Amino acid sequence: MPKRPHAPRKSTDAAARIRHATAIGRSRAGRSTSRSQRRGTARPTPCSDAFGCSKSSRVRQPAVAFSTNVEYIPFMTFEICRFTACSVLAIFAAAAPSMAHSDLIAGPVEAQLVRVVDGDTVLVDAEPWPQQRVRVAVRLRGVDTPELHASCASERKAAERAKHAVRRLLGESDHVRLTDIAGGKYFGRVLANVETANGKDLSRTLLGKKLAVRYQGGRRAEWTCSRNG
């Protein structure tokens, strides 16, 4: 009696088809990746420490806001300073409602000296109304003094003289009065006339002692250095 031919093994054929389909899929995926790399879409991004990863890594890690993103921090600093200046002027305007719609607040606003920053800038705790204080840097209106960190030695010495003169003018009293208050050239500070407790105007006094020059904004004066400076 003749033997019947064996039926094909369906399981074996199915396994073969699966392996074949898998091989085709891998081949297509490889070709797709190769094309995308040639187009530059899958090219690894160079890494730098500013993005929070080591130099040996080839995959850029997400930047950490407020700490490592070097492009974000200056913007935030600018915004914070602008908010500070606007807040200070708003408080002064609230203390003098008649000047609220003007760019210049007449004052006077009483203030307590915190420290002398340099010959033309003081840090104060202003008192726009009783029992309320706001700390702000005040640039003396109408004058410019030498810079403490200038490259020229003679300018640095002149800057120290101007700073000491302001300290002497203020004396032991830490009380000052601000008038004609406006936003300064740099955000975060204000521009104002500053008077001592006995009524002396700091700007006029510095000009009279030739420790400052007149300044109404724009380019600063260039201080002449001695040959030895």
**DSSP secondary structure, the chain, as one string:** -PPPPPPP-HHHHHHHHHHHHHHHHHHHHHHHHHHHHHHTTTPPPP--GGGTS-TT--SPPPP-TTTT-TTHHHHHHHHHHHHHHHHHHHHHHHHSGGGTTSS-B---EEEEEEEEEETTEEEEEEEEETTEEEEEEEEETTEE---TT-SSHHHHHHHHHHHHHHHHHHTT--EEEEEEEEE-SSTTEEEEEEE-TTS-BHHHHHHHTTSSEE--SSSPPPPPPPTT-
Which carries the bigger pLDDT value, residue 40 or residue 220? 220
pLDDT, tens digit, 9 for 90 and up, residues 152-200: 999 999 999 999 999 999 987 889 999 999 987 666 789 999 999 999 9
Say whether pLDDT at 49 is over 50. Answer: no
pLDDT score recorded for residue 88: 52
pLDDT, tens digit, 9 for 90 and up, residues 202-218: 999 999 999 999 998 77
pLDDT score recorded for residue 225: 72
Hey, what CATH class is 72-214 in? mainly beta
pLDDT, tens digit, 9 for 90 and up, residues 131-165: 888 999 999 999 999 999 999 999 999 999 999 99
**What is the mean pLDDT of the segment spanning 93-99?**
49
Domain ranges of the chain: 72-214
